[in-house]
């Protein structure tokens, strides 16, 4: 089966995913596109032999031309499209964030639980990076003993002038929160944000930030965001266990930006999603629950940035549907 994918949002990451699906991945084709700016969608469709342009995301989701939906529009629109895909019974890959509020994430979870079927996968692509997969295997082998601390550095060379201090948490550290949950196999239960001396290259932005995050078992996750570090896009990780440490393997040289660092991970992420759909399996990647958990940690982080207090992360009970997640 060739999976017919409809893409909602043909901006930067949407067109990048379209290129990888048509250029380097197998088992799928782009059958439909839409964008808030239809002229942009039409331009993108010109290079796609089989893609119809739809006026709205809702119309695209309802079309018989579409087997599965790729949501790559602006974050606040994600809830509407993910809910519509669930209602239509179609698998949906939603770029992060799953939704911009915890309540919206809960509505998505309720709809998926009611359908009693995992239809949603969230775009936390780090889980598909070969180095992160090796680090997880090392932790799970038991060779380090119980993990005590995970250090996660997230450094960007520069950010646009529209980047706000909250974005260091909701757009940047969100990836570190997800990967820490996945590596350690635990929920995060509290966060405290500590601003460092501001980088003078940051035009007054409160940057860097350190975040001290607690896990259920009492281990700590130390996240650093530095978004004006100039020298490149530098992602680091180190797990410290009771009897050993393991470091995230990095590329031979520091990449210029995130695309260079994570292109193979994006490829693997979407290929595994396509393969699961083609075989009729539930997606095994990051679930609605994972998207929800990341959003709740972000909300607590933003609150802590304002108050400088330790803020608890309260998730509530995890529905049984998400225990089926295997990756």
Give the E-state strand segments of the chain in sequence order: 3-8, 28-34, 52-53, 68-71, 92-94, 120-122, 147-155, 188-195, 209-215, 220-226, 234-241, 245-247, 310-312
Nearer of residues 33 and 139 to ligand NAP, judged by Cβ? 33
CB of 146 to ligand NAP, least distance (A): 30
Nearer of residues 113 and 254 to ligand NAP, judged by Cβ? 254
Judge contact between 6 and 69, C-beta under 8 A: yes
Judge contact between 248 and 225, C-beta under 8 A: no
CB of 208 to ligand NAP, least distance (A): 19
Q: Structure tokens of 257? A: 């930006």
Nearer of residues 36 and 189 to ligand NAP, judged by Cβ? 36
- Cis peptide bond N-terminal to 206, omega within 30: no
- Residue nearest ligand NAP, Cβ-based: 11
Q: Structure tokens of 207? A: 């940057």
Nearer of residues 54 and 150 to ligand NAP, judged by Cβ? 54
Q: Which residues bind ligand NAP (CB under 6 A)?
A: 8-14, 34-37, 40, 57, 72-75, 77, 95-96, 123, 125
Nearer of residues 92 and 125 to ligand NAP, judged by Cβ? 125
CB of 249 to ligand NAP, least distance (A): 20
**Backbone Cα Rg of the chain:** 19
CA-angle at 100, arms to 99 and 103, nearest 5°: 75
Nearer of residues 125 and 219 to ligand NAP, judged by Cβ? 125
Q: How far is 116 from 123, CA to CA, in rounded Å?
A: 21
Q: How far is 215 from 213, CA to CA, in rounded Å?
A: 7
CB of 59 to ligand NAP, least distance (A): 11
Look at residues 178, 166, 182 and name the one whose alpha carbon lies nearest to residue 227. 166
CB of 150 to ligand NAP, least distance (A): 20
CB of 81 to ligand NAP, least distance (A): 8
Helix, strand, coil content of the chain in percent (nearest 5): 40, 20, 35
Nearer of residues 72 and 215 to ligand NAP, judged by Cβ? 72
**Residues belonging to the chain:** 327
């Amino acid at each position: 089966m060739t999976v017919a994918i409809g893409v909602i949002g043909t901006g930067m990451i949407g067109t990048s995913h379209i290129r990888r699906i048509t250029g380097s991945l197998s088992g799928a084709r782009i059958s439909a596109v839409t964008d808030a700016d239809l002229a942009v969608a039409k331009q993108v469709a010109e290079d796609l032999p089989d893609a119809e342009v739809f006026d709205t995301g809702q119309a695209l989701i309802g079309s018989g031309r579409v087997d599965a939906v790729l949501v790559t529009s602006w974050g606040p629109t994600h809830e509407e499209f993910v809910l519509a895909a669930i209602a239509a019974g179609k698998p949906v890959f939603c770029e992060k964030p799953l939704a911009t509020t915890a309540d919206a994430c809960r509505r998505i979870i309720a709809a998926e639980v009611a359908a009693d079927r995992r239809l949603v996968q969230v775009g936390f692509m780090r889980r598909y990076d070969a180095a992160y997969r090796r680090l997880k295997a090392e932790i799970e082998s038991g060779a380090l003993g119980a993990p005590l601390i995970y250090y996660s550095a997230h450094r960007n060379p520069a950010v646009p002038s529209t980047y706000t201090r909250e974005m260091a948490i909701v757009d940047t550290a969100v990836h570190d929160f997800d990967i820490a949950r996945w590596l350690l196999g635990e929920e995060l239960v509290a966060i405290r944000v500590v601003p460092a001396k501001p980088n003078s290259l940051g035009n007054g932005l409160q940057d860097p930030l350190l975040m001290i995050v607690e896990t259920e078992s009492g281990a700590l996750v130390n996240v650093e965001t530095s978004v004006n570090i100039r020298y490149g896009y530098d992602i680091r990780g180190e797990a410290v266990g009771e009897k050993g440490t393991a470091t995230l393997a990095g590329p031979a040289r520091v990449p210029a930006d995130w695309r260079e660092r994570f292109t193979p991970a994006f490829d693997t992420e979407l290929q595994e999603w396509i393969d699961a759909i083609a075989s009729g399996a539930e997606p095994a990647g990051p679930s609605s629950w994972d998207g929800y958990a990341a959003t709740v940690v972000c909300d607590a982080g933003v609150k802590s940035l304002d108050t400088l207090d330790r803020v608890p992360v309260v998730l509530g009970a995890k529905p049984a549907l998400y225990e089926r997640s295997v990756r």
